[in-house]
Structure 1
Amino acid sequence: METLPIPLPTNTALLLVDLQKAIDDPRWSHLGPRNNPQAEASVAALLAAWRREGRPIVHIRHDSTEPDSTYRPGSPGHAFKDEAMPLPGETVIGKRVNSAFIGTGLDDWLRARGIGTLVVAGVITNNSVEATVRMAGNLGYDVRLAADACFTFARKDRSGRLRTAEEVHDLSLANMDGEYATVVETAELLE
């Protein structure tokens, strides 16, 4: 049975960002396939370990206000992915922008419980995950980002050159590692 290593405080929260069915819409992958096809399995392993040990879990749900968004409340994509489905009693916090800390009670919820360490996973690496991790780091949280439990999609850079999903993911991780978070693999979090 996997257990979480001792160095993580027992009240380390698992923060799952935007793991909703919306992300499977073909509009997201119009420039090419996503990276980390095993990301949901990594998320499921983290979630199972947190549940087994009774550690705090926060599911961040994107509630888009854009009429054509795949994340719009009431649309099929608004539902959580099966691998990240909250159980009754688990905390779900809705957000309307990319950072899970803007316009939500997340910071208050964490501080009220004495939580200073976060493990973050979710989508999209270079969007909501990065915005959330950067803000968490700026707010003084000790953040571990599970690199293989996140994914993104190909993008064109400013010059019009197509960057693969892996390139976009790796650059986003490089932006966060060290200053805002410690980037790790799921296996490093699970013994």
Structure 2
Amino acid sequence: MLDDMTELTENAALIVIDVQKGFEDPYWGRRDNPAAEENIVALIRAWRSAGRPIVLVRHDSRPGSPLAAESPGNELKDVVLEAFGETRPDLFVTKNVNSAFYGKPDLDGWLRERGIGQLVIAGIQTNMCNETTARMGGNLGYDVLYPIDAMHTFDAVGPDGETVTAEELTRATAASLHHGRFARVVRTADLIGVSASV
């Protein structure tokens, strides 16, 4: 549960990163957390209900990638679009690197103009764009909350040729962000229905 030091602010921004159809391509291999999309949708709906801002991020990758710009895989997953319904995100950012802070338009500038100091990061992948954005957000002075069950990643092969499972990568990301104080690692349930801090 969130404690008094991690209550949600009235204008805490939900940043939904790269929930795109291309991540369903077999190219990526085995994933973890089959409940990720369900939890992402729950956060979007909770944020809309509370009137808090939502930033939607899309990765426009190079040609040949499952996420290549203007390819079917570049499109956002239907569950995300359906969660928004008739509404739109408060900001739509496109990027071609890991951090959403290096996308267009300028995320940091947009947040600061609105006095937003707290971020909640969800999406794909846990140990890639999500983690990079969280680390940079922490470096920039934002209070970052990281609902580890509202994201997923894939197995990866290390330099020794051994496979590191998605679950192991997720655990390592959670420990690294927590230990380094880049972010507070929480669960979706910790954030749903939480009152704004005064």
Alignment TM-score > 0.5, same fold: yes
The Cα shift of 1:172 comes to 1.5
C-alpha separation in 1, matches of 2:148 and 2:74? 24
How do residues 155-170 of structure 1 correspond to structure 2 at under 5 angstroms? Answer: 155-170=156-171
Q: Is the 8 A contact 2:94 2:103 kept in 1?
A: no
Equivalence for 2:120? 119
The answer for unaligned runs of 5 or more in structure 1 is none
The worse-fitting range, judged by mean Cα deviation, of 151-160 and 139-148 is: 151-160
Q: Is the 8 A contact 1:137 1:143 kept in 2?
A: yes
**Match 1:35 to one of 29, 32, 48:** 32
Would you say how many aligned residue pairs link Structure 1 and Structure 2?
Answer: 183
The Cα shift of 1:88 comes to 4.1
**Match 2:74 to one of 71, 74, 78:** 78
C-alpha separation in 1, matches of 2:121 and 2:65? 24
Superimposed CA distance per residue, residues 123-176 of structure 1 (whole angstroms, 9 cap, x where no aligned partner): 111110111000000000000001000110111122111111101111112111
**Match 2:58 to one of 61, 68, 87:** 61
The Cα shift of 1:103 comes to 4.3
Q: Is the 8 A contact 2:63 2:69 kept in 1?
A: no
Equivalence for 1:45? 42
What TM-score, normalized by structure 2, do the two folds share? 0.88
Q: Is the 8 A contact 1:43 1:83 kept in 2?
A: no
Equivalence for 1:15? 15
Report SS of the residue matched to 2:148. strand
C-alpha separation in 2, matches of 1:34 and 1:115? 32
The worse-fitting range, judged by mean Cα deviation, of 158-167 and 107-116 is: 158-167
The Cα shift of 1:38 comes to 0.3
